[in-house]
Amino acid sequence: MKNGILKFIVTGIVFLTFFVLWDRCIGKCCNLLEKIAIKRASDVGIIKTGIICERIDSDVLVFGSSRACCHYDPRIMEKEFGLSVFNCGMDGSGFLYQTALIRNLLNRYSPKILIWNLEPDDLREHHSDSKISQLNSYYDSNTYIHDLINLRSKFEKYKMHSMLYRHNGFLMEYISSFFQKADQLKGYSPQHNTGHFPTKGKRNEKADDCSSDSIEKFVHILQSCSEKKICTAIAFSPSFTDDNALETLQCKKLREIANGFNVPIIDFYHHPDFMSDSSLFLDERHLNDNGAKIFTERFCEELEKLEILKSAQTNN
């Protein structure tokens, strides 16, 4: 009986040791593949996250969700500003991911201008963000990301001990990056219609509540930008919808906080020039490539009126 128990314990220890070594070995391989993929500057998914966190050093950065990566063409902005520009917008990302990405990047360097494309009601409660997992590689090196990832579940801090878990679902992206050519779009994701244009989104009432946690995260980033003398602008890009987002408590609070830091808000959310022309949109939330080019030019005009470019040159 005792021999059987001892054999079971020894077998368990051997199996656990093998699993840990195997997990660490595969994890090291995944880390290496990720680093190589980032060096290749392939601008997709988790690789784009890594590029932003480790390589990008452009003068002007644009942050936000898919409405950022689809709406701002850095090539046009570079011609207008005479500065290097990269679009850090990420398809499917939410407010939490954006705050983590910005904070992680600001720990590495300070751009001259930071443009944050937000939704007017982004200071609401945010319970989860699937894109946070793309920051798993920075779990040990960034306290904010560490704490944010642990919020996903009470078991997350235990799961993150596994290197396989950290890279779960990303291996094919690492490998596919070896067969992709680096483009010259600088983070921009052009959208093309197939001959059909959207109808205006129906009236959608946004919940009128503010989250103290979201407010705290927003304030922290504006405070950091102020301390680092980074010229910052908040933007609401066009939305082909009929909603009350601009009248919500979140939007009012967002404007109040931005004003407190002297951060301008460039508002095109329900701009009549875009609301009257559905041919500029892919769907009710995203501009197509033609619409994005027009918007980018109009946005640059508004930014230049604010003399942010002069301030950026003075501060840096």
Q: Which two tokens stand for residue 266?
A: 């460039």
User: What is the C-alpha to C-alpha distance for residues 117 and 223, in angstroms, rounded to an integer?
Assistant: 17
Q: Minimum mean pLDDT among 8-17, 159-168, 181-190, 269-278: which range?
A: 8-17
Q: Is 200:284 a contact under the CB 8 Å cutoff?
A: yes
Q: Is 64:292 a contact under the CB 8 Å cutoff?
A: no
Domains of the chain: 2-315 (3.40.50.1110)
Residue 44: pLDDT band (50, 70, 90) is low
How many C-beta atoms surround the C-beta of residue 68 within 10 A?
26
Q: Minimum mean pLDDT among 34-38, 76-80, 81-85, 280-284: which range?
A: 34-38
Residue 128: pLDDT band (50, 70, 90) is confident
Q: Does the pLDDT value for residue 231 go beyond 80?
A: yes
**Triad 42, 48, 49: Cα angle to 5°:** 150
Q: Does the pLDDT value for residue 307 go beyond 80?
A: no
Condensed to tens digits (0 to 9), the pLDDT of residues 203-218 reads 666 667 889 999 999 9
